[in-house]
């Protein structure tokens, strides 16, 4: 239990005592059968939570057949490539965080896409000016070397118990037999219809008969089924050194655009050498301490672990458990603003940039930044970064680095198994619909991840760590996170899609669960705020429409704008006695799907 603590948002004092059952769940609903999704499931034998019922079921199928969390995570991810093709798939990348129950350690894989080896800082510059963003997205120029298949194979080789061919079977079957179209799939198709028609192969696949898919109809992808079958037979070498890879290269360098569309699908410069040189990168996770718990996530090239960790460090000295709603939101918003200011200046691909990861996550640096926060005023944005290598208390000078735009076409899955292993895995193709370019005959869309780079420096006088380079990984906000107790046992694991809002979604969900005492499913469902070092903070309707709360916050200087939907999280929580709780969205993206192997009421 937490010890009683004096509440004072100026006097920074908190209790460090937290038990494993932090955020204990309300009585769970029974897991429903049939085609319905349920956002909450409790039981034994392992758990899977994703945005999609068929994908969660694929993971559960693997767990029931004796697979572990890594096997089930790959199976779930492959199924999401079928049912969530605008968010993830063979043509994308992602970040994989794994907790090993035997050694009680956390390990990660950076499966981020890379720029071609011929790329330089002027990748998105034409005639001395940056290419318009919307034009860059739907082009071969935006496509990075895919990392997802390499991530799957690397995870299975290191920690899995089943071969790739085995865990791909549910997804191959799902692609061949089809899934039921829901309103989310139809609406995402509709929002991409114009640019999908630029590319005949994309239009043929996702606009069957030249029309939007009908809700309730069955959507089949036989080309993707064949691609999965080929990966199962030949391994991921079929993509990185084989026929699938050659098809990707041809598509990127000569985008198959409809000449009648008039669209300038700028060619890329991807080569077979780029594919052959690609490696998913095992690396040490970030670690920060919060309320006596260990918070583990992705180190750069993702900014997720450093930015969530820094914000938690800033909040460490404020007791949020009994703060008013307005006080809690004010502190959370300001901590996010500061962490994003530092992210923009310091985080890039560490193979190219000197990223001070350890210093960004130091409590000393967080304390030097936390003192900027006032209870009765709001920091001005864009806020200048601090220097984690030489922290100066309450420093506010310097030049701000704006947050680059990141698309929200991403999906997250969380898995646990009966042995206590846990996976938090976020994968992506960047925009909803990625580049819009389908590889002919292969059934999957290519990413547009290279648009996550800064096209040009925001300020030529200040170094930008996120400019393109040969083989460089663009900065990401992906933040799959696993929280451990003092005995290095899992408390909770979670993550979210949403571009740069991933960071704030994960941060707010953690604070809601760990500090505000919300059950995990309620912490995920709670209305969100997202501040990313901008003049205005984005609010979902549940907060924006609360006139009294907004008035309190606006009175001290906050400014808000409406965002209809921020993120779409999933998570798992360890309960006593080998029991797991899986939680997903109740409404966002049509709701998520939480499942366990053996449910209990």
Q: What is the mean pLDDT of residues 69-79?
A: 99
86 domain residue, yes or no: yes
pLDDT digits (tens, 9 = 90+) for 170-180: 999 999 999 99
The reported pLDDT for the residue numbered 13 is 31
Condensed to tens digits (0 to 9), the pLDDT of residues 437-483 reads 999 999 999 999 999 999 998 778 788 999 999 999 999 999 999 99
State both tokens at 570: 């999933």
pLDDT at 163 over 90: yes
Contact predicate 155/101, CB 8 Å: no
Half-sphere exposure of 171 (CA within 13 A, CB side): 36
In terms of phi and psi (left: phi > 0; alpha: psi -120 to 50; beta: otherwise), the region of 591 is: left
| Sequence-separated (6 or more) residues with CB below 8 Å from residue 165 | 232, 233
Say what percent of the chain tops pLDDT 70: 92
Give the pLDDT confidence score for residue 35 in this predicted structure.
62
- Has residue 307 been placed in a domain? no
At 165, the pLDDT band (50, 70, 90 cuts) reads very high
Give the 3-state secondary structure of residue 34: coil
Residue 159 in any domain: the answer is yes
Whole-number Å distance between alpha carbons of 210 and 221: 16
Structure confidence at residue 399 (pLDDT): 75
Rounded CA-CA distance 36/16 in Å is 41
The CATH number of the domain where 507 resides is what? 3.60.20.40
Residue 543 or 397, more confident: 543
Report yes or no: 365 and 359 within 8 Å, Cβ to Cβ.
yes
Residue 3 has pLDDT above 80, yes or no: no
HEC letters along 365-395: HHHHHHCCCCCCCCCCCCCCCCCCCCCCCCC
Q: Cβ of 536: how many Cβ atoms within 10 Å?
A: 12
How deeply is 455 buried, as exposed, middle or buried, from its count of CB atoms within 10 A (0-12, 13-18, 19+)? buried
Place of tokens 């090993």: 100
pLDDT digits (tens, 9 = 90+) for 306-360: 999 999 999 999 999 999 999 999 999 999 999 999 999 999 999 999 999 999 9
pLDDT-derived band at 192 (thresholds 50, 70, 90) equals very high
Q: Is 414 contained in some domain?
A: yes
Prior bond of 93 cis (ω within 30°): no
Pairing state between β 105-111 and 125-126: unpaired
Q: How would you classify the pairing of strands 105-111 and 281-283?
A: antiparallel
Residue 293, strand partner residues: 290
Q: Is residue 530 part of a domain?
A: yes
pLDDT digits (tens, 9 = 90+) for 234-275: 999 999 999 999 999 999 999 999 999 999 999 999 999 999
Looking at the chain, the number of H-run helices and the number of E-run strands are 20, 20
Residue 295 bridge partners (DSSP): 288, 483
**From the candidates 145, 227, 286, 410, which is the catalytic residue?**
410
Q: Please give the full DSSP string across 334-365, using - where no structure is assigned.
A: HHHHHHHHHHHHH-S-TTTS---HHHHT-HHH
Supply the pLDDT for residue 364. Answer: 97
For 416-430, write each residue's pLDDT tens digit.
999 999 999 999 999
Q: Which domain holds residue 211?
A: 40-282+405-548+562-596
Contacts of 58 (CB under 8 A, 6+ apart): 75, 76, 78, 79, 170, 171, 174
Please say whether the dihedral angle defined by the alpha carbons of residues 431, 433, 438 and 444, taken in this order, is positive or negative: positive
**Quick check: helix, strand or coil at residue 422?**
strand
Residue 134 falls inside a structural domain: yes
C-alpha closest to that of 595 among 24, 26, 50, 34: 50
When divided into structural domains, the chain yields a total of 1
What pTM, to 2 d.p., does this model score? Answer: 0.93
- For the cut 90, the answer to whether the pLDDT of residue 601 exceeds it is no
Between strands 537-539 and 560-562, the pairing is parallel
Q: How far apart are CA 18 and CA 131, in angstroms?
A: 50
Q: What is the mean pLDDT of the chain?
A: 93
> Taking residues 25-36, what's their average pLDDT?
40
In a domain, 380, yes or no: no
Tens of pLDDT along 545-594?
999 999 999 999 999 999 999 999 999 999 999 999 999 999 999 999 99
In tens, the pLDDT along 202-216 reads 999 999 999 999 999
Which pLDDT does position 402 carry in this prediction? Answer: 61
Which residue's entry shows tokens 């009421």? 601
The question of whether 410 is a catalytic residue gets the answer yes
pLDDT for res 461: 78
CB 460 within 8 A of CB 128: no
CB atoms within 10 A of CB 260: 9
- What tens digit of pLDDT does each residue of 118-130 get? 999 999 999 999 9
Q: With respect to residue 399, please indicate whether it lies within any of the assigned structural domains.
A: no
């Amino acid at each position: 239990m937490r010890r009683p603590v004096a509440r004072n948002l100026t006097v920074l004092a908190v209790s460090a005592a937290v038990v494993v059952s932090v955020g204990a769940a309300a009585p769970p609903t029974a897991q429903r059968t049939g085609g319905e999704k349920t956002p909450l499931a409790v039981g034994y034998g392992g758990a899977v939570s994703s945005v999609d019922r068929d994908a969660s079921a694929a993971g559960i199928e693997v767990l029931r057949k004796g697979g572990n969390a890594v096997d089930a995570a790959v199976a779930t991810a492959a199924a999401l490539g079928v049912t969530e093709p605008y968010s993830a798939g063979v043509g994308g990348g992602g970040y994989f965080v794994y907790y090993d129950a035997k050694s009680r350690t956390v390990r990660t894989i950076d499966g981020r896409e890379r720029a071609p080896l011929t790329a330089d800082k002027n990748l998105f510059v034409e005639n001395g000016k940056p290419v318009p963003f919307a034009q860059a997205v739907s082009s071969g120029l935006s496509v990075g070397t895919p990392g997802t298949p390499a991530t799957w194979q690397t995870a299975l080789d290191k920690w899995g118990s089943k071969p790739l061919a085995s865990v791909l079977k549910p997804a191959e079957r799902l692609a061949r037999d089809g899934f039921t179209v829901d309103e989310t799939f139809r609406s995402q198709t509709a929002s991409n219809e114009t640019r999908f028609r630029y590319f005949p192969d994309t239009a043929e696949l996702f606009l069957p008969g030249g029309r939007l898919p009908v809700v309730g109809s069955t959507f089949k992808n036989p080309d993707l089924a064949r691609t999965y079958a080929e990966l199962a037979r030949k391994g991921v070498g079929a993509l990185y050194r084989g026929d699938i890879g050659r098809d990707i290269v041809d598509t990127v360098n000569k985008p198959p655009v409809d000449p009648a569309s008039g669209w300038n699908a700028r060619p890329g410069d991807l080569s077979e050498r780029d594919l052959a040189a690609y490696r998913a990168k095992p690396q040490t996770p970030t670690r920060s301490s919060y309320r006596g718990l260990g918070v583990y996530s992705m180190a750069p090239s993702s900014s997720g672990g450093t930015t969530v960790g820094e914000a938690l460090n800033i909040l460490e000295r404020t007791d949020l458990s009994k703060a008013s709603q307005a006080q809690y939101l004010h502190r959370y918003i300001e901590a996010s603003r500061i962490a994003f200011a530092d992210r923009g200046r310091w985080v890039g691909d560490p193979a190219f940039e000197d990223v001070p990861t350890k210093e960004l996550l130091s409590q000393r640096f967080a304390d030097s930044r936390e003192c900027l926060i006032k209870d009765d005023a709001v920091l001005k944005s864009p806020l200048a970064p601090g220097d984690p290598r030489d922290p100066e208390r309450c420093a506010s000078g310097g030049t701000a680095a704006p947050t680059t735009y990141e698309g929200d076409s991403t999906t997250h899955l969380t898995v646990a198994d009966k042995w206590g292993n846990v996976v938090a895995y976020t994968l992506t193709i960047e925009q909803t619909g990625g580049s819009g370019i389908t590889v002919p005959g292969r059934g999957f869309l290519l990413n547009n991840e290279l648009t996550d780079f800064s096209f040009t420096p925001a300020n030529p006088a200040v170094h930008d760590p996120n400019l393109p380079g040969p083989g460089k990984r663009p900065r990401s906000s992906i933040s799959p996170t696993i929280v451990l107790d003092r005995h290095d046992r899992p408390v909770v694991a979670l993550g979210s899609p949403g571009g740069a809002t991933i960071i704030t979604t994960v941060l707010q969900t953690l604070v809601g669960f760990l500090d505000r005492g919300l059950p995990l499913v309620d912490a995920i469902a709670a209305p969100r705020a997202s501040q990313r070092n901008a003049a205005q903070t984005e609010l979902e309707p549940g907060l924006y429409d609360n006139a009294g709360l907004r008035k309190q916050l606006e009175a001290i200087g906050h400014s808000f704008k409406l965002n209809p939907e921020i993120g779409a999280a999933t998570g798992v929580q360890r309960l006593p006695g080998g029991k797991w709780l899986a939680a997903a969205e109740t409404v966002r993206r049509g709701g998520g799907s939480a499942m366990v192997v053996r449910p209990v009421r």
